[in-house]
Amino acid sequence: MKTTSNSSLLFILLLVIFSCSWAVSSHEHDDFLQCLSLQSNNHSSISNIVYTPKNSSYLSILNFSIQNLRFESVSTPKPLVIITPVHESQIQPVIYCAKENGMQIRVRSGGHDYEGLSYTSQVPFVIIDLVNLREIKVDVDKKTAWIQAGARLGELYYRIAEKSRTLGFPAGVCPTVGAGGHISGGGYGALIRKYGLAADHVIDARIIDVNGRILDRSSMGEDLFWAIRGGGGASFGVILAWKLELVDVPEKVTVFAIARTLEQNATNIVHRWQYVAN
């Protein structure tokens, strides 16, 4: 009898805690949305890019780029709001209102994130999903490209190849990686031996800082510009776009794979490969 009573008491206690937690989250959610409405110049346009758990498409938007199914579980903390801006000016009110309501911001760059760092949090949070900011402009003559953070690496490679057979960019081999997160984390790929990391070829950037200012390399200063190229851009603000220095590549390349076991002299082959791979 005593055990049953304790179990019932525990159940009631958990129910009360859950109810209080839900009420607090709901309150923060409402305050955030009200703030967003007041801070946005065009209320109708901002409402078209805001998704809450009440929206029928909320889960499809949230799960769109999640490739680690562990984070699709019911127990994974979910954002109170998801915002999918179509213009960078729609991001500034989100930053302001998140600060006002003590909410964290997670930034997704349109690609996948196996660790869930861009769409999970243990405290109330909102997601800014940059999937709609994916414009890419390639300048063949200057050997540069501007890429918005929501574009994927595969899209970048395709746009470069459209313009030139002898230009490329040293980044990852997976086409579904978002450019914003990949480059801000360094950017390891197949051309690393000859050209280094993707971040080594960033010559300018656009970022929104914690105060809502849109900065480029000149206005953010060299310290911050250094930090966002490898230190994780979301640690310092919302990366909007990168200006990249493209690299020269042969018009024709040979791609092949060799499978060898240790018994088939694999160790010596890898050793010799170190001398010719670059």
* Pair of tokens at residue 256: 């092949």
| CATH topology identical between 2-129 and 136-248 | no
pLDDT digits (tens, 9 = 90+) for 184-197: 999 999 899 899 99
pLDDT of residue 217: 98
Neighbours of 216 (CB within 10 A): 14
Q: Where are the domains of the chain?
A: 2-129, 136-248
Architecture of domain 136-248: 2-Layer Sandwich (3.30)
Cβ neighbours for 247, distance < 8 A, ≥ 6 positions apart: 143, 167, 168, 169, 170, 191, 194, 195, 201
pLDDT digits (tens, 9 = 90+) for 39-88: 887 665 778 899 999 999 999 999 988 888 888 888 899 999 999 999 99
Q: What is the pTM of this model?
A: 0.83
Mean pLDDT calculated for residue range 171-180:
92
From the list 126, 109, 274, 271, the residue with the least C-alpha distance to 187 is 109
* Pair of tokens at residue 248: 């020269």
What CATH topology corresponds to 2-129? 3.30.43
Mean pLDDT calculated for residue range 229-241:
89
pLDDT of residue 25: 57
pLDDT of residue 23: 44
pLDDT exceeding 90 applies to what percent of the chain? 65
More confident residue, 31 or 25: 31
Residue 107 vs residues 30, 84, 93, 130, 245: alpha-carbon distances, Å: 21, 10, 14, 7, 24
Mean pLDDT calculated for residue range 109-121:
85
89, pLDDT greater than 80: yes
228, pLDDT greater than 70: yes
Mean pLDDT calculated for residue range 89-103:
94
The CA distance from 232 to 184, in Å, is 5
- Per the prediction, the chain carries an average pLDDT of 88
